[in-house]
A = this chain, B = another copy of it.
Amino acid sequence: MLATMIHAPRDIRAENRPDPVLHTDHDAVLRVVAACVCGSDLWPYRGVTRTREPHPIGHELVGVVEKVGAAVTSAAPGDFVIVPFSLSCGECQSCRAGFPSACDHVTGFGSTDRDGHPVDGAQSERVRIPLAQHSLFPVGRSEEELEAAGLVPDLLALADVMSTGHHAAVSAGVGPGDTVAVVGDGAVGLCGVIAAKRLGAARVVAFSRHEDRAALARELGADDVVAERGDEGVAALRDLLGGELADAALECVGTEQSMDQALGSVRGGGRVGFVGVPHGGSQVPIGTLFRRNITVGGGMAPARTHMAELLDDVLSGAIRPGRVFDAEMPLADVAEAYAAMDERRATKVLLRP
């Protein structure tokens, strides 16, 4: 089967690899219907994080179950499923509390599972899913029906970006009437706009300096777009809001500058939901939190939990997070998919095996 391997920075290859098999009773094997490239996949691609040896890559997929181990009863062969970007046991305290991304046995694509077996990447024709009982999320409709309705991109977005944008909004306590600032105009930030509106925000202000993304942000629900960044961005926000600030901000980038901008965008007692993977010196300044009574929450999204809340709105078309995909390519062209995103020719590329 064809599977994507990263060998070194800017060396991404779709290669022939052995078909996956069940290693334990807790595994499943899926045929991938659609996968995609994440902004965080660009970090090893750009050499920001180190690639010690070639390994499979990709962590977002929807697919059809082909085989399940004897202990897996949550899905059966033929079921169309979403797989959250982190795999989890469903039994530990964090899982039971609804935070499978902090599972005691949390397992990532492209890593090694708790039994010591290597885990496939999602940018593949087929994948083995360990911890399958809790990690498979059946949609309850057939592949044919979902393809005909054009819902595959929207469901794929639930695997990561839409669940992550929703996590930012939930972690920021967004509720009816709130004014919400969204820092980051990538796929997650755009999904944050959708999530904030869905949770009842009265006014959503997106920070974006790219015309195409600003237009999409508006289409997805942003009431205003601010092009400035940093302190100038906060000043522009304050002007826009008649001298006031937002009730909540969504930090969807992960840098020191973006966190500062999010913290600066909220009033005293405001809330910041952060989902950008921290890098580049990002920190939470405790003095600012203390003095301005700001709450900071978020982290790696419990996608398995959130997709259960979001599924009905995706199936009904009430939200269309698949709009963040602005290109689709065959899996064989995965190297071009990375290049297009790296060069900002695409926001997010959907891959078809």
Residues 241-277 of chain A: 1 if any B CB is under 8 Å from the residue's CB, otherwise 0? 0001101000000000001000000011101001001
Specify which chain B residues have a CB less than 8 angstroms from the CB of A235 in the assembled complex: none
Residue contact A268 to B171, C-beta cutoff 8 Å: no
Specify which chain B residues have a CB less than 8 angstroms from the CB of A290 in the assembled complex: 274, 277-278, 298-300
Is residue A332 within 8 Å, beta carbon to beta carbon, of the partner chain?
no
Specify which chain B residues have a CB less than 8 angstroms from the CB of A274 in the assembled complex: 286, 289-290
Rounded to whole angstroms, the CA-CA distance of A287 and B283 in the bound complex is: 9
Rounded to whole angstroms, the CA-CA distance of A94 and B247 in the bound complex is: 10
Is residue A83 within 8 Å, beta carbon to beta carbon, of the partner chain?
no
- Tell me the nearest residue of chain B to A171, going by C-beta: B295
Rounded to whole angstroms, the CA-CA distance of A289 and B259 in the bound complex is: 14
Specify which chain B residues have a CB less than 8 angstroms from the CB of A291 in the assembled complex: 102, 299-300
Rounded to whole angstroms, the CA-CA distance of A267 and B245 in the bound complex is: 32
Is residue A193 within 8 Å, beta carbon to beta carbon, of the partner chain?
no
Is residue A297 within 8 Å, beta carbon to beta carbon, of the partner chain?
yes
Is residue A284 within 8 Å, beta carbon to beta carbon, of the partner chain?
yes
Residue contact B278 to A286, C-beta cutoff 8 Å: yes
Specify which chain B residues have a CB less than 8 angstroms from the CB of A297 in the assembled complex: 271, 289, 293-297
Is residue A302 within 8 Å, beta carbon to beta carbon, of the partner chain?
yes
Query: A93 contacts which of B171, B267, B283 (Cβ < 8 Å)?
Result: B267
Residue contact B299 to A99, C-beta cutoff 8 Å: no
Is residue A282 within 8 Å, beta carbon to beta carbon, of the partner chain?
yes
Is residue A101 within 8 Å, beta carbon to beta carbon, of the partner chain?
yes
Residue contact B103 to A268, C-beta cutoff 8 Å: yes
Interface residues of A in 275-321 (CB under 8 A from B): 277-278, 282-284, 286-287, 289-300, 302
Query: A98 contacts which of B103, B269, B287 (Cβ < 8 Å)?
Result: B269
Residues 83-124 of chain A: 1 if any B CB is under 8 Å from the residue's CB, otherwise 0? 000000000011001110111000000000000000000000
Smallest Cβ distance from A180 to chain B, in angstroms?
14
Copies in the complex: 2
Residue contact B300 to A269, C-beta cutoff 8 Å: no
Specify which chain B residues have a CB less than 8 angstroms from the CB of A278 in the assembled complex: 286-287, 290
- Tell me the nearest residue of chain B to A275, going by C-beta: B290
- Tell me the nearest residue of chain B to A287, going by C-beta: B278
Interface residues of A in 138-173 (CB under 8 A from B): 171
Residue contact A93 to B286, C-beta cutoff 8 Å: no
Rounded to whole angstroms, the CA-CA distance of A94 and B293 in the bound complex is: 10
Smallest Cβ distance from A70 to chain B, in angstroms?
28
Rounded to whole angstroms, the CA-CA distance of A245 and B94 in the bound complex is: 9
Smallest Cβ distance from A251 to chain B, in angstroms?
10
The 4 closest A-B pairs by CB, nearest first: A102-B268, A94-B268, A295-B297, A99-B269
Kindly list 10 other residue pairs between chains A and B, CB separation below 8 angstroms, not including A94-B267, A102-B268, A274-B289: A93-B244, A93-B268, A102-B269, A274-B286, A277-B290, A278-B290, A284-B296, A292-B299, A293-B298, A293-B300
Q: Give the interface of A toward B (CB within 8 A).
A: 93-94, 97-99, 101-103, 171, 244-245, 247, 259, 267-269, 271, 274, 277-278, 282-284, 286-287, 289-300, 302
